[in-house]
Structure 1
Amino acid sequence: MTQENGHALITRQRLHPLSPVLKGLRLFVLAVVAMSWRSLQQLHFWTWLAVVAGLFVILLIYSTIAWRFTGYEVIGRELRIYEGLISRRVRTVPLERLQAIEVMQPFQAKPFGLAELKLDVAGAQRSEAPLAFLPMPEALALRSQLLALSGGHSTAVVEEETEHELRRVDNNAVVFSQLLTPPVMFTPIAVLYIASQLVFNEDRGFFTIAAMISAFVATIGAPVMRTLNFWDFRLARSADGKLRIRHGLLNSRSQVVPVHRIQSLTLTWPLLWRAKAWLRVTLAVAGQTSVASEGGKAETDRLLPVATLEEARAVMPYVMPGVDPANLPMTPVPRRVRWLAPLRARVLAAGLHDEVFGAVDGFATRTLTIVPYGRIQSVRLTQGPWQRRLGVATVHADVAGSTPVSAAHRPVEEARAWARDLAARSHAARAAALTPPTTGGH
């Protein structure tokens, strides 16, 4: 049942009955992993097993009871998420602030055809409480409904549009790119360390060997998880212009990103990838939770996890029309100030394009960050003590959901002119976006 004019557009719904079981299983695995090998050594096996079983039962009972108080509904222009057992909470998400919605299938939910929704909201530091779990058809339908409502449409159900595939990343390239990472390159050292410990350490008990294996797994864990995360990576464009990003082997992810909500793009050339002329392209969406450093969580900000520059240029017309990352006007920093950044000086460059502001930075890993003028939130000018003595300054363009785009060590007059120009172009781009298109006729 749906109603308009501030009433229920989606009535109160509960999650799938298997949700508490799957959530309890997830917490149980985390709890078992948290128990160190030393804890197992100090306890008798059956005592340890009884503790684990008791913990699982407690978590399962708690999540089952909490499930009865968890649900969601859409009232007017708000999505309301109900959760909590001891402390009840109602999270209210204004639909107009929805930036993207990701449909994720964790490996434990795949056999049951269940999925969870993760909501990226402008201004939030992390995803809103995920709706886990829903049957896959219901999850896809709910995502379409929420995206339609966030765009100002009142359509209750929006069918999945036909898609045009922009890029399918070769799995061999994904694997090889992760082999060319520092953790994997240092793996032989870890193997030699483990072998030496086995040869020279008199204590070759189960727990010693297990600790060594754990250290080895931790060394290569991040590249392996990224390989599984980016497996079968596909980038497509729907009929209404939205980007659809799908990837993942154990955990399948499906993300819809409205192009007009992309805040910035970053092209990154890691040092070990340069021999293959590879790069990765990441996007920033306001409210999207991603990782600032690799390896902590599954990266969800990839537009292309591995690609050549030509492949990246081929998808740019669908992401930032009129922008060619290979032909942006860039000017280097003055030679007289290169000693302020001796390792990066030959790389540092920035420039203003008709549509975007771009900056190049980095030494071992080089980056090109591009931000459309309409996404710039504010412009700042900073000067350190040495910069003041040398008559240079750094221009920062602040962007929602991303680190600032910075043009370092520019001559003061140029920096001031750029700051004024960026502010004016940002204002003009925002005004143009708010102006409705003119139509002919009377």
Structure 2
Amino acid sequence: MTAPGPAPEPRQRLHPLTPLLRSFRMFALAVAAISWQGYSNLGTARWLIAVAGVLVVTLTASLISWLTTGYHIVDQELRSYEGLLNRRARAIPLARLQSVEVVRSALARVFGLAELRLEVVGGAKTEAPLAFLTVGQATALRARLLAAATAARGTAPAAATATAAEGEPESDAAPVEEQLLHRVANRDLVISQLLRPQWWFVPVAAVMPIVFFVSEGRISFIGVASTLTAVLGVLLAPIRTVLGDWGFTVAAGGDGLRVRRGALEKRSQTVPLGRVQAVTVTWPWLWRSRGWVRVKMDIAGSAVSIEDNERTGTLLPVGTVSDARRLITETLPGFELTTVSISLAPRRARWLSPLAYRVLGYGRTEHAFVVQQGLITRELTAASLARVQSVRVRQGPLERRLGLASVFVDLAGGRSVTAWHRDVNEARELANDLAEQARAARRH
């Protein structure tokens, strides 16, 4: 007789306060929908009865959702269950896990809770978000999932970690030391958002109603409303960025790269080592006088970011080239930002890109393929050769007439890095060399 295997792990529920937090969101939206017009039509007493009814319904729905939701780890899968009438079960192979993020909204922080978000290979959105858990449960589960994912991929298991968001209590698991790589000064973050070209439109928008009043002799409601809308649109973007990246820190731990940020909503993301497939360094025009750059990383298999509309994560919201170089070395080992040599496009490419051809170029190192573009806002993207999926040479009709071709280097998730408008013979040779380098890098 064979010995029985280990008993399956019991199914876990979310925190008991989860129905309260979920119903608060739905309740606030429902009350906002019926508030003004409903209050005037129903009167105070009926309006309060309607609000109470909405509260009961939302609380009941949230409670039923909590009772029918659970998760547990079986073998090398995270399984989650939800739904009463339509039962849904998800099984996420931990070998496909790319990164795990602990998110703490302002409301969740009041109750000491957190949400766990998982990114997996090929996911179009965050998989199986677990909301809500205590901070200790969330950090301990994150450490366990990352360690199990490392083991499932057949590499040496990473040390189990339990790192909470900065300033938050640790879990019961044994703490693991981490090395702080960089901390962004909040003052630099604010100044960087003030150096946005959008601010130039604020005086213009403010002057327009005054000009209209002087010429017409009256103030237009449409003019004032459009001015306020334009000003709010300019203000909201930098404010959202500052609040989102407030207290930004990057640290290296046994389980990967740890990024923490956020003022109102605390975010703590762990990216396993080796999952970053490309980094993009940006030199905004107004930042160049201060020597500042911005760095974003493309994480293999991560879901599309709602904020950036692409598969990216912020590695450095603002900092010097020296700061960027140090962080990029951690994410793309062997790549040196300050020593890469760029080969510019031939002069005849000006017929296709009259101004930008002066900065279009590419470079190669032992570990990365690098492209440069952008006339006003300069961008340099370095793609890991070990993450290259395919290499293509493409010629448009105008490129054929000019003897040019573009080389597309495809990464996971539909991301491509392109060397635009190269000499056709150079492009074909480059594509063959990159394919060989990519195969060698993957074997290594």
TM-score (normalizing by structure 2): 0.85
Give the alignment of 1:61-80 within 5 angstroms.
Answer: 61-80=60-79
- Counterpart AA for 1:164: Q
Deviation at 1:193, TM superposition (A): 5.6
Q: Give the whole-Å Cα distance in 1 for the aligned partners of 2:413 and 2:128.
A: 18
Deviation at 1:370, TM superposition (A): 0.5
Q: Give the whole-Å Cα distance in 2 for the aligned partners of 1:32 and 1:417.
A: 64
- Counterpart AA for 1:308: T
Alpha-carbon spacing, 1:185–1:118, altered in 2? closer, same or farther (3 Å): farther
Q: Is the 8 A contact 1:394 1:409 kept in 2?
A: yes
- Find the partner of 1:389 among 372, 395, 401: 401
- Counterpart AA for 2:110: P
- Find the partner of 2:418 among 394, 400, 406: 406
Alpha-carbon spacing, 1:100–1:413, altered in 2? closer, same or farther (3 Å): same
- Find the partner of 2:267 among 235, 238, 253: 253
Q: Is the 8 A contact 2:117 2:127 kept in 1?
A: yes
- Counterpart AA for 1:178: Q
Q: Is the 8 A contact 1:242 1:259 kept in 2?
A: yes
Corresponding residue number in structure 1 for 2:164: none
Deviation at 1:39, TM superposition (A): 5.5
Give per-residue Cα distances to partners, 1:385-410, cap 9 Å, x unaligned.
10111111111111114621100001
Corresponding residue number in structure 1 for 2:133: 134
Corresponding residue number in structure 2 for 1:228: 243
- Counterpart AA for 1:188: P
Give per-residue Cα distances to partners, 1:77-135, cap 9 Å, x unaligned.
11111122332211111100000000010110001110011101011111113100000
Give per-residue Cα distances to partners, 1:262-300, cap 9 Å, x unaligned.
111010112232222211110111232343764x79x97
Deviation at 1:412, TM superposition (A): 1.1
Alpha-carbon spacing, 1:49–1:290, altered in 2? closer, same or farther (3 Å): farther
- Find the partner of 1:242 among 246, 256, 260: 256
Give per-residue Cα distances to partners, 1:119-166, cap 9 Å, x unaligned.
010111111131000000010000000001001178996444201111
Structure 1 spans left out of the alignment, 5+ residues: 433-442
- Counterpart AA for 2:183: R
Q: Give the whole-Å Cα distance in 2 for the aligned partners of 1:380 and 1:176.
A: 41
Q: Is the 8 A contact 2:209 2:219 kept in 1?
A: no
2:344 is equivalent to residue 328 of structure 1: no
Structure 2 spans left out of the alignment, 5+ residues: 162-173
Give the alignment of 1:274-285 within 5 angstroms.
Answer: 274-285=288-299
- Counterpart AA for 2:302: Q
Q: Give the whole-Å Cα distance in 1 for the aligned partners of 2:151 and 2:352.
A: 50
Alpha-carbon spacing, 1:188–1:368, altered in 2? closer, same or farther (3 Å): same
SS of structure 2 residue aligned to 1:108: helix
Q: Give the whole-Å Cα distance in 1 for the aligned partners of 2:362 and 2:7.
A: 50
Alpha-carbon spacing, 1:42–1:75, altered in 2? closer, same or farther (3 Å): same
Alpha-carbon spacing, 1:19–1:322, altered in 2? closer, same or farther (3 Å): same
Alpha-carbon spacing, 1:325–1:156, altered in 2? closer, same or farther (3 Å): closer
Q: Give the whole-Å Cα distance in 1 for the aligned partners of 2:300 and 2:225.
A: 42
Corresponding residue number in structure 2 for 1:363: 375
Q: Give the whole-Å Cα distance in 2 for the aligned partners of 1:157 and 1:360.
A: 39
- Counterpart AA for 1:12: R
Give per-residue Cα distances to partners, 1:202-227, cap 9 Å, x unaligned.
769xxx99997566434321211110
Give the alignment of 1:7-406 within 5 angstroms.
Answer: 8=8, 10-30=9-29, 35=33, 46=44, 54-152=53-151, 158=161, 159-192=174-207, 200-201=218-219, 216-238=231-253, 240=254, 242-291=256-305, 294=308, 301-401=313-413, 403-406=415-418
Give per-residue Cα distances to partners, 1:283-321, cap 9 Å, x unaligned.
111232343764x79x97101011111111122332222
Q: Give the whole-Å Cα distance in 2 for the aligned partners of 1:376 and 1:151.
A: 21
SS of structure 2 residue aligned to 1:282: strand
SS of structure 1 residue aligned to 2:371: strand
- Report the more deviating stretch, 40-49 or 147-156: 40-49
Q: Give the whole-Å Cα distance in 2 for the aligned partners of 1:247 and 1:68.
A: 32
